[in-house]
A and B are shown apart, each in its own frame.
Chain A
Amino acid sequence: MRKAVNDIDICVACGVCANQCPRDAISIFKGCYAVVDAGKCVGCGLCEKACPAGSIKVLEVENGSK
């Protein structure tokens, strides 16, 4: 399954990805980084396309978990 995965070390917590996600699968954890709810994510890649830091990417993951 393809899901969005975020590298929290690079993420600047701007929230652009969350604004773009059509499934509301992303939230900004305590203003620190974006967290993807793998249960909601459909792997559309809109977040990856929007992310200015290149930290969130759609990758092949097993059973929807990282």
Chain B
Amino acid sequence: MASHAIPTHASAASPSSEQTGLWSWLTTVDHKRIGILYLYTALFYLLVGGLEALLIRTQLAKPNLHVVSAETYNQLFTMHGTTMVFLVVMPLSAAFFNYLIPLQIGARDVAFPRLNAFSYWVYALGGLFITLPIFFGLAPNGGWFGYAPLSGPTYGGGFNMDFWVLGLQILGISSLAAAFNFITTIINLRAPGMTLMRMPMFTWMSFVVQFLIVLAFPVITAALFFLQFDRFFGTQFYEVSAGGDPLLWQHLFWVFGHPEVYILILPAFGLVSEVLPTHSRKPLFGYNVMAYSGIMIGFLGFGVWAHHMFAVGMGPVADSIFSVATMLIGIPTGVKIFNWIATMYGGSLRFPTSMKFAIGLIAMFTIGGISGVMHSSPPSDLQQTDTYFVVAHFHYVLYGGAIMGIFAGIYHYFPKITGRFMSEKIGSWHFWLNFIGLNLTFFPMHFSGMLGMPRRIYTYDAGQGWDLFNLMSTTGTYMLMIAGLVFAYNFFSSRQRGAAAGNDPWGAPTLEWSIPSPPPEYNFAQIPEVASRYPMWDLKAPDRTEGIAHSHADAATIADAHAVPVHEETERRSAKELGIPMPFPTIKPFMVALGILILFSGLIVLHAGHFALAMATMLGGAAFMVGSLYAWLTSPLE
């Protein structure tokens, strides 16, 4: 499948690396190449999730259509949601974490390069595990939040939800391992002078997101273990006849689920916070407030989960608490919107495609944010929950927010990653098709929802006032597909033929723009010493940073790091010539990931009723995993 296409396409993206070919991609521990792997894999899944959406919308274009069966429809919306959340937006964010965090903080790699490769391979294999069953009609079919007991053995006895439960467990390992890695990287690998309050805003938002992952994922891990044990070992966690409580799943899921939505959106916020100041040629307005509001959102994000459950009747006290907390969290979010607008205010603006997408995010996210505040009031939410109104809401924040922000990031960083510009003309087409298509798809859903159309129905009768709105939504979806093709064309043709970009094509303020594009494998020939938040503007446009604090790290620290003042790096020499030790490529992280996949697959065999084979698979997988792990841990890094 596409995983074969990844290496060949992507290899050209880093001409600096001496090795190419499949093996070098399987064994790479370079954060930039791993970032590129994430990018290609996640874009492939965006295509998959998009095609699923296309089928969904085709089925709903008119009343009483039978493009797909009801059962297939269940699989489609479940896989669409699961794919978009876990296989598209999170990994696209991870692509940027990988590529950018070390570059933005002036580091040569992440703290644990091999663990980083491990995270990617667990994601890649886990993605296949959860996606391939759709070709056999066995894809998960219980919705992306897998409500028990529907997802349990009594009502969901087939293999379908097995793949969901186990697949999410696998993907969780990937996210957690990456989170420990990035937390350590950001704490411990910042260049001298790069205090926390000088970190680029993308790194800040990523930092917050890693903590959200570290705290939210264990909760769904526990919930999934209960479900897994119910399904495979006959426990009774969600078995109503034994006294099990369906609300337990819902609470655990949303304790994870709400922070998860910030995990999806904050990286996009971070990207936009890089794009806007660059093209406004003006420092980010209210940097401190931006950082603190990110932390606030992260913290409050753990106290609002039950706003997804107003309909279950938790009682007035719980309803009020969660309602108020949800309204409160709108404040730091609103602050960000105003700060972005204030950043542009009075700037000398440029409108390349990345800037269009960034401004698009501000507008679209605001619409989604407003409908979100409407849900925070229980009486109002009771009218909206489980209708297309909610579908409209979360697509404005996820598509209009996360995806638009990520597109802004792709257009902005493409020159850094490939050394070439993307076409602005085609980019502009992409943006406008996307912008119109998105509104045409999702705005009418507010109306169909208000008129009572429930989500997750595979067809509907005519004459309920929903027909026109559904046709509009479907038309918009086809437009979005065309936009996607335009983007793909732009992406691949620019990779081959785009105009050459130098170190700093946009005149941007942060460290990643001080080194060649694409960066050499060691990133920085000399570790830069940072004296302010906008080191590159200090160098090139000092008038913009006059009002900003400057100070130098102490001499001992600078000497310790062999750091030199920030400067533009133009020479491109090999790590060996420069005497920079680089980590060895290694296959072992891939092997450990493979062992984990085999281990989990054993449970599917168990469900199929082959006890001995299942045990053999699981023990074999576990032994392979532990053996590879020991081999990994006992071999030197560099």
Say whether A associates with B. Answer: no
- Where the two chains meet, the residues of B that have a C-beta atom closer than 8 Å to any C-beta of A are none
Q: Which residues of A contact B (CB under 8 A)?
A: none
